[in-house]
Structure 1
């Protein structure tokens, strides 16, 4: 199997349970995008590539399409299988998808494509897609115009090192991609609501390069997060908080 980035391999292995708890869901409007833009419906087939713990797999399954979840990290696959025991879950990477040529109608990567945005992955995605099949790329993007969200980013940034990140835009360099049409973007507002320990602390601690830190450094990060929760006016004393995101949904078609 193709090697995956060390931050992903270590962080997602160590904190798969935190990832499952802390990562946000997706806006209801995305269900319509999956149906109307990607064409997902009963009788269609889709790969959830880099499926993680299965948060997006559930949304894909709700379209009625046949879903295959592909995930390289064993601990993530275990979380997915426990939550979705009827799901088809395969070990694989974007550069080695364990499916036949021209076998699926869509490939979707949620919170994942920046990890494997390279020509080999695009060629492999094109191989498994039928002609006219769709590639969907989805990210929940933090709204850093909100002051306390920007403080969270400032806590995380010093630990990024060379970990691929959506916001840097490096993933866009593979487009336009051979055999694919233009990339089109649709955006939706989304708010992740819940206890601050879940939607803030677990969310940040599940970030790959934070999750792979030594325990003492993780404790220091956690303490900084609790400081934000205790001092930010919008968060202080609140049992339930609202974490603002924009959900970015990209689509392109295989020729």
Structure 2
């Protein structure tokens, strides 16, 4: 299956699962209403958590009462998810090879994941397992660049991305329009990730796939750059607890027919 996974994900997430759990932000409360209202999840529905990772979004889906099937190709991430959610069916799979029957689920959710596999082939496979009128949800947590120091942090990270697919490039949008789906509809929610700088800044950056895949010496250099940024920003310097501002982008497309 490795040939179907981008090398940054295969290498970075293999070694960075623990850091991912500590460093990734949660999702805002408004997501609960989006899941039940816009996507219609309830205890009569079945939902795939596609590219589920360590299960950062899985708990949100469980809370709707729906039957949740978590699909993730990186074994180390899937192990973390299974330990956190032992009652969730967790299976190995990719967006172009879902181990499920035709028209078997009501909703497919990709949280922090769709940019990895955005393609007509993936959308066709997602459409295959969705029931007629089923919904595809795409969710991303994004640092809010309207806060002055955030673009400086992003610049440190972005300089190392190489060929890694990412939300902000917009390349994922090229998979749309797709004949199996109606138009994308978007909503945005603001929130913050509050905690120690070690977790909400350092571990968040360390959990980035292409950062986690770097040799130790280069990862140390990234840490040093971030440390210099923190020490140079009055809003961050000397703080035991900080809040990193985020915007959550949530999209939905309905399967035709």
Normalising by the smaller structure, the TM-score range is over 0.9
Deviation at 1:231, TM superposition (A): 2.0
Task: State the Cα deviation string for residues 21-75 of structure 1 (Å, max 9, x = none).
Answer: 1000000010000000100011100000000000100100000000000000000
Distance of 1:98 and 1:253 partners within structure 2? 21
Name the residue aligned to 2:238: 237
Structure 1: gaps of 5 or more residues: none
TM-score (norm 1): 0.98
Name the residue aligned to 2:122: 121
Q: Where does structure 1 differ by over 3 angstroms across 4 or more consecutive aligned residues? A: none
Name the residue aligned to 2:69: 68
When the two chains are superposed, the root-mean-square deviation of aligned CA atoms in Å is 0.8
Size of the alignment, in residue pairs?
255
Give secondary structure in 2 for the equivalent of 1:21. helix
Give secondary structure in 1 for the equivalent of 2:248. strand
Mean alpha-carbon deviation: is it higher for 209-218 or for 230-239?
A: 230-239
Distance of 1:137 and 1:229 partners within structure 2? 32
Deviation at 1:232, TM superposition (A): 0.9
Distance of 1:108 and 1:76 partners within structure 2? 17
TM-score (norm 2): 0.98
Name the residue aligned to 2:81: 80
Name the residue aligned to 1:188: 189
Distance of 2:177 and 2:84 partners within structure 1? 36
Distance of 1:66 and 1:225 partners within structure 2? 41
Give secondary structure in 2 for the equivalent of 1:203. helix
Deviation at 1:215, TM superposition (A): 0.5
Distance of 1:178 and 1:71 partners within structure 2? 26
Structure 2: gaps of 5 or more residues: none
In the alignment, structure 1 residue 146 sits paired with structure 2 residue 147: yes
